[in-house]
Amino acid sequence: MKQQIEKTQVIILGGGITGLSAALYLAQQKVDFILIEKHKGTSINPRARTIDIRTMELFRGLGINEDLREGGKALAPAWGIIRGSNMLEALQNPAGKITPAQLMEAQKEFKSFAERSPETVCRCTQDISEAIIYETAKEQGSDLRFYHQVLSFVQHENEVEVLVENRITGVQYTIKADYMIAADGANSMVRKQLDIPVSGNGSWTDLLNIYFEADLEHLVKGREFSQFLIDTPEITGFLLAINNKDKWAFHLRYYPEKGETITDYPEEKLVATLRHILGIPDQKISILQVLPWQLTVIIASEMRINNIFLAGDAAHTMTPYAGKGANSGVQDVQNLAWKIAAVLKHGAGDALLDTYPVERQPVGAYYAMLSGELADKSGLINSVLMVEKAKDLIGLPNYGYYSSAVQREANLPFSYFIGEPGTRVPHLWLDESHKGSSLDWIRGQFVLIVNNSEGWRDECDKVEQELDINIQLVTLNEENIRNEWKELTQTTYAEALLIRPDDFVAAKLVPGDLVHTMQSILSQKDN
């Protein structure tokens, strides 16, 4: 039988948070895609538990931020770190507990920093967040093929050809796509097959992720915590709250270098260990899943090889201690999706796609290295350094982009949150109820924010006629909003800010510059 051949614009490899988010952002840009995931469904393990402020801003733009908050409401009170020889004692006498208040106090500018976003950090475990993103994508009619596996791929000059197997039927078929997004995780088959060099610490401390059920709600209610750390001669590891009731995860350090394997930890031994760390000898415990893993920092030297792009863990594998693994992946694909769309739909130059690694690799590499630094000599989180780095960990984009997709003076130091080109568009509340934000103007499209309407409508129309790109024009007619915006962004009455679809300021400009600026941003030649 002749093998089936399908065609699409983008193939997404991987159905975790990064891949599923790529699906939402490509759909937002009206780009055709097929997502391939080898597993039957989304994650059943809670793993990542924190969605940072910037990622919540992105999910706000997709309209799923409140769904995620609702999904994570059971975990929401779980903040702070406690230590001790068992959890029960630590709860009764939480000496040395690191609390959110201490994190805020550690950064004097934290309050003003946090006010620079319409969103706050969200606690939501990965099994819940992936399911929400998956259902959203399915409701939009996305082609999500779970329990299908990529067997091989090859790049041609203008396309990627992928051989896929339906794991239910065994039928193999080929997909030809203009581009491929490799969101296939820390052990990325794509990264390895492309032989992309990596840097970083590699893998070191080995742990067992023990996901279990135990009814502890009566003990922790009103005394919730995020992590309980234990480091004794007998046991080293950390207990994570999952729903503050009956779901928990303990990460136990074990020693393969001494000959230990997962078989040395049968269920009865794990239950006894968990009872010991809980401090409750007769606690009823059910083991749900045991997964070995390693603290790992791996940074790919390239995020683009011709028509293939690495994203998330495939590009920058990090420890969970900075809380940035899943967040960085979502932010990667949000940056990439509009650029792919601009090339496929609007004639943008190929050089626009080169700005993806230029912009995102330094960010991913920074957080990956920071995540490694946050691991102490025992393999536990370094809570002292965590307090020192609090400003970087909450997730506001205190970084900027230097690339050809931004018009700014090279190597000019950034001032964040005031509308400089290369930085995220500033947040300004648009109403007294604090429901609408200036970030809500963007939602995946080019936006021109102007202080007056003189000539700008004609400029936007000219861009649509010549470049086939619709620019949403936001005119600040309300005087108090206009005055606040001018003061916040340090723009004059005549100036405007051009915002990219990923919420970052592309340029500050005056009338007459828009078409040329758009051509420059999109790496197009002047007409």
Q: Is the pLDDT of residue 363 over 90?
A: yes
Contact 161, 174 (CB under 8 A): yes
- Cβ partners under 8 Å of residue 512, min gap 6: 455, 459
| Residues with Cβ within 8 Å of residue 479, at least 6 apart in sequence | none
Q: Of 59-68, 88-97, 123-132, which gets the smallest average pLDDT? A: 88-97
Q: Tell me if 452 sits within 8 A of 459, measured CB to CB.
A: no
Residue owning tokens 């799923």: 64
38 three-state secondary structure: coil
Q: Are residues 438 and 470 in the same domain?
A: yes
| Structural domain contains residue 254 | no
Average pLDDT over residues 30-47: 96
Same structural domain for residues 428 and 386? Answer: no
Predicted pLDDT at 96: 57
For residue 468, pLDDT over 80 is answered with: yes
Paired tokens of 340: 């792919």
Q: Residue 358: how many CB atoms within 10 A of its CB?
A: 16
Count of the separate structural domains present in the chain: 2
- The region, left, alpha or beta by phi > 0 then psi within -120 to 50, assigned to residue 133 is alpha
Average pLDDT, the chain: 93
Domain identity same for 389 and 407: no
> CA–CA separation, 453 vs 435, rounded Å?
25
101: confidence class by pLDDT, cuts 50, 70, 90: low
The amino acid at 212: F
Residue 214 resides in a domain: no
Residue 413: per-residue pLDDT: 80
Distance CA 267, CA 448 (A): 60
pLDDT of 436 reads 95
Co-location of 358 and 457 in the same domain: no
Between CA 407 and CA 422 the distance in angstroms is 8
The full DSSP string for 71-139 is: HTTTTTT---EEESSSHHHHHHS-TT-B-HHHHHHHSTTHHHHHTTSS---EE--HHHHHHHHHHHHHH
Domain membership flag for residue 226: no
Q: Residues 321, 438: one domain?
A: no
**Cβ within 8 Å of residue 332, ≥6 positions away:** 18, 303, 311, 312, 315, 360, 364
Together in a domain, 185 and 303: yes
- At 430-445, the pLDDT tens digits run 998 999 999 999 999 9
The torsion angles phi and psi of 11, rounded to 5 degrees, stand at -110, 130
Task: Average the pLDDT over 138-154 and give the result.
Answer: 97
The token duo for 168 is 């239910």
Q: Does the pLDDT at position 100 exceed 80?
A: no
∠ at Cα 77 (398, 427), nearest 5°?
30
Whether 22 is in a domain gets the answer yes
CATH of the domain at 180: 3.50.50.60
| CB atoms inside a 10 Å sphere around CB 106 | 16
101-105, 306-310, 347-351, 446-450: least confidently modelled range = 101-105
pLDDT class of 114 with cuts at 50, 70, 90: low
Q: Is residue 90 part of a domain?
A: no
Determine the 3-state secondary structure of 492 from DSSP.
Answer: coil
Q: What residue numbers bound the domain in which 346 lies?
A: 4-75+120-198+298-393
Largest CA-CA distance found in the chain, in angstroms, rounded: 77
Instruction: Judge whether residue 285 has pLDDT over 90.
Output: yes
Q: Are residues 494 and 357 part of one domain?
A: no
The four Cα atoms 207, 212, 214, 219 give a dihedral, to 10 degrees, of 40
Report how far residue 295's alpha carbon sits from residue 369's, in angstroms, rounded to the nearest whole number.
12
Bridge partners, residue 85, by sequence: none
Q: Are residues 312 and 373 in the same domain?
A: yes
Q: Which of 354, 374, 393 lies at the terminal end of a domain, its last residue? A: 393
Q: Answer yes or no: are the C-beta atoms of 30 and 341 closer than 8 Å.
A: yes
pLDDT tens, residue by residue, 200-258? 999 999 999 999 999 999 999 999 999 999 999 999 999 999 999 999 999 999 999 99
- The residue with tokens 């023990």 is 210
Residue 152 belongs to a domain: yes
**Is 171 part of any domain?**
yes
Is residue 25 located within the same domain as residue 142?
yes
Specify the pLDDT at position 392. Answer: 85
The answer on 488 and 457 residing in a single domain is: yes
Q: Could you give the angle at the alpha carbon of 362 between the alpha carbons of 356 and 364, nearest 5°? A: 85
The three-state secondary structure class of 526 is coil
Higher pLDDT, 97 or 77: 77
SS3 assignment, position 498: strand
- Per residue in 500-526, pLDDT (tens digit) is 999 999 999 998 889 999 999 999 865
299-356 residue pLDDT tens: 999 999 999 999 999 999 999 999 999 999 999 999 999 999 999 998 899 999 999 9
Whether residues 326 and 446 share a domain: the answer is no
Domain boundary among 345, 376, 393: 393
Looking up residue 484, the CATH number of its domain turns out to be 3.40.30.120
Domain boundary among 368, 393, 418: 393
Residue (of 490, 499, 495) closest to 512 by Cα position: 495
Residue 271 belongs to a domain: no
The pLDDT tens digits for 162-210 are: 999 999 999 999 999 999 999 999 999 999 999 999 999 999 999 999 9
Q: Which residues contact 131 (CB under 8 A, 6 or more apart)?
A: 42, 71
| Whether residue 65 is found in the same domain as residue 188 | yes
The mean per-residue pLDDT over the stretch 280-294 comes to: 96
